[in-house]
């Protein structure tokens, strides 16, 4: 038995609308947004008395998704320092291929994003950078050259 595909990555956030706007500006498409609660959800995630809002965003080619969740009950907790550096244990970033990296950086800056380091070129193949967006989310951007 093998993996069929990667379906989605979950990011727990506090300001759901700001993070949705950030990912939409990046080029993702909002599939849907709404409440999620009930005993079945509590059993799946191992928490009691759950009430959350979720949003599902799709990559334009349809092959990947980012799920965002804002927990109302129980309240979300912080497991690491705010704006944790890239070498902090755990999931650190999501990488996206883009067609115009400078344009994407400029558009994301309107949502408060900042470069983590610098925009760099790797040999003659890619221009790469990390951008920190709302809630400290780090997004990697890669523009293929040639």
Q: What digits encode the pLDDT tens for the residues 48-76?
A: 999 999 999 999 988 899 999 999 999 99
Q: Tell me if 48 sits within 8 A of 42, measured CB to CB.
A: yes
pLDDT at residue 81, as a whole number: 78
Q: How confident is the model at residue 2 (pLDDT cuts 50, 70, 90)?
A: confident
* pLDDT over threshold 90, residue 94: yes
Please give the Cα distance from 46 to 18 (Å, whole number). Answer: 27
Please give the Cα distance from 14 to 105 (Å, whole number). Answer: 23
Contacts of 19 (CB under 8 A, 6+ apart): 11, 13, 68, 133, 134, 135, 137
Give mean pLDDT, residues 7-33.
Answer: 96
Across the chain, what does the average pLDDT equal? 92
* pLDDT over threshold 80, residue 4: no
Distance of CA 11 to the CA centre of its chain: 6
Q: How confident is the model at residue 32 (pLDDT cuts 50, 70, 90)?
A: very high
pLDDT at residue 111, as a whole number: 96
pLDDT at residue 85, as a whole number: 83
Reading the block at residue 5, the tokens are: 């595909």
* pLDDT over threshold 80, residue 120: yes
Q: Tell me if 142 sits within 8 A of 128, measured CB to CB.
A: yes
* pLDDT over threshold 80, residue 41: yes
């Amino acid at each position: 038995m093998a993996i069929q595909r990667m379906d989605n990555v979950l990011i727990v956030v506090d300001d759901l609308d700001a993070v949705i706007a950030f990912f939409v500006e990046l080029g993702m498409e909002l599939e849907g947004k709404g409440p999620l609660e009930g005993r079945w959800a509590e059993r799946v995630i191992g928490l009691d008395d759950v009430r959350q809002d979720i949003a599902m965003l799709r990559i334009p080619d349809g092959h990947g998704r980012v799920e965002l969740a804002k927990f109302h009950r129980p309240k979300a907790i912080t497991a690491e320092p705010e704006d944790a550096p890239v070498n902090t244990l755990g999931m650190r970033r999501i990488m996206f291929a883009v067609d115009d990296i400078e344009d994407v950086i400029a558009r994301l800056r309107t949502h408060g994003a900042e470069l983590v380091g610098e925009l760099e070129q790797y040999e003659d193949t890619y221009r790469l950078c990390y951008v920190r967006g709302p809630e400290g989310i780090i997004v990697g951007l890669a523009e293929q050259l040639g």
